[in-house]
Structure 1
């Protein structure tokens, strides 16, 4: 089974422009707004092979219903936003949707019907190019409140842009995705299948899985608060939360000074400079 790196994180927000403004204030370049045919709209932050997808529900959105076989991307994020904002979905890279499906089925996971889509994307120079993706949605029985899928980028040469990958803060790559849960050990079977990584490191701070692009760290609330210096997200009994996203490459001192000048709260922690989730649309953002 091939190991998969992180492709992107879906960050569901009520006001995508306000969220984009906050990321721009933190020194990120954010792409123009785009609309999906199933009712969602997004703006992106591109790093090196990984991106953050700010996502909201569009006005008068026509969202297809979900079923046990069909995963409704728009419906899932609409329902997520009814509970609150934050990271709603984790996405791993894919080289083949068919291979992903077979691997997930062998692992005993529930896999939804194949899903592919394409659209036109505006590049920084104003040119229009086609992008397309094959998505393989899978269910995590231990975490039904979040979505999980792999993404096969069919036209990477059209999707990625060097201009969009340049950020004033200097950030270049994903460092860590942090998932908070009461019992990390109960999640490891799913994440081993989802990432394709069987090797993981367990400690008193949780379970760490090194993927080809970024680290996944599963940890209890107490460990999160000790490492990141901000409150852990509230959890439902047996639940999980995608609590933080850490990026690397930024000049932390310069970022801290810039945020202070703008009156934006940031917390120095053991793991880096943290923009707390309580101030920023439900997801802590960390400059590692």
Structure 2
């Protein structure tokens, strides 16, 4: 199937270590996959959803291999820069699905947002029966110098990643990623960038920002005043440039989610249409849960 829009594939969430991330995400009612290592010194423990998106909590597995890859791997360079500027818990990259990463690489270069080389790698992952399979990826990177702490890339699957279906059945009832909220003082200055990345056509303009479609999810850029009024989200940095503010999840039953949060003593606040959970160790950005 040809992709006109670029749909979200996954979101990269740096964490101090996977044990902390697993503890936090499990307390939020998510099923977390077994750890998997990259050949360039990082490791993940993903949270997979029924809508074919996922979260990628990312930790440093081997500091020596990680350091060796800084000169030659854009992904590692950006991860190191993010951790240096923001700490070890956060939200560093938005990743889109791709059928042709090489074409994306060329398109990003033509648009003036391409960074790094086209990058291919593979990694093992565990199946439900304990055996290992291999997933292969080809990545094309994009970035904007005005937003140094947010990376974008497309991900073409060279060898399919097929997580066990039991990992997509979450206690909290989340079925997928509904959107990403970004903050910026003047949102419309970044509308061309997001339109280029999503290939969505016209954006939905709001008094306090805009939204653009990535098929099943929306990418929205709002002023920090709006984000604080609506969700209690404050600016994390002092400078200009879009920064991730929240991930919005589709949930089947908000009452069930509220019960999980209460049982696990997790702080939250009601928003106009859902529940917001502020960042904590292992969860580097606000999570917003909405019932659909």
TM exceeding 0.5: yes
Q: Which residue of the partner structure matches residue 275 of structure 2?
A: 273
TM-score (norm 2): 0.91
Q: Which residue of the partner structure matches residue 57 of structure 1?
A: 60
Inter-partner Cα distance in structure 2 for 1:201 and 1:182: 18
> Following TM superposition, where does structure 1 have runs of at least 4 consecutive aligned residues deviating by more than 3 angstroms?
64-67, 278-281
Aligned-residue CA RMSD (Å): 1.8
Is contact 1:57-1:74 (8 Å) kept?
Answer: no
Is contact 1:4-1:196 (8 Å) kept?
Answer: yes
Q: Which residue of the partner structure matches residue 97 of structure 1?
A: 101
Shift of residue 39, structure 1, vs aligned partner: 1.1
Q: Which residue of the partner structure matches residue 207 of structure 1?
A: 210
Counterpart selection for 1:147 from 133, 151, 160: 151
Report Cα offsets for 1:149-193 as digits up to 9, x if no partner.
11012233x433311111111111111101111111111111111
Question: Runs of 5+ in structure 1 lacking a partner?
Answer: none
Q: Does 1:88 align with 2:123?
A: no
Counterpart selection for 1:125 from 121, 126, 129: 129
Q: Which residue of the partner structure matches residue 225 of structure 1?
A: 228
Q: Which residue of the partner structure matches residue 192 of structure 1?
A: 195
Shift of residue 21, structure 1, vs aligned partner: 1.1
Is contact 2:37-2:124 (8 Å) kept?
Answer: no
Report Cα offsets for 1:200-237 as digits up to 9, x if no partner.
01111311011113100101111111221x23232332
TM-score (norm 1): 0.92
Q: How many residues align?
A: 284
Inter-partner Cα distance in structure 1 for 2:186 and 2:38: 36
Is contact 2:15-2:282 (8 Å) kept?
Answer: no
Range with greater deviation from structure 2 (107-116 or 189-198): 107-116
Question: Runs of 5+ in structure 2 lacking a partner?
Answer: none
Report Cα offsets for 1:236-256 as digits up to 9, x if no partner.
321222110011033111111
Q: Which residue of the partner structure matches residue 13 of structure 1?
A: 15
Shift of residue 133, structure 1, vs aligned partner: 0.5
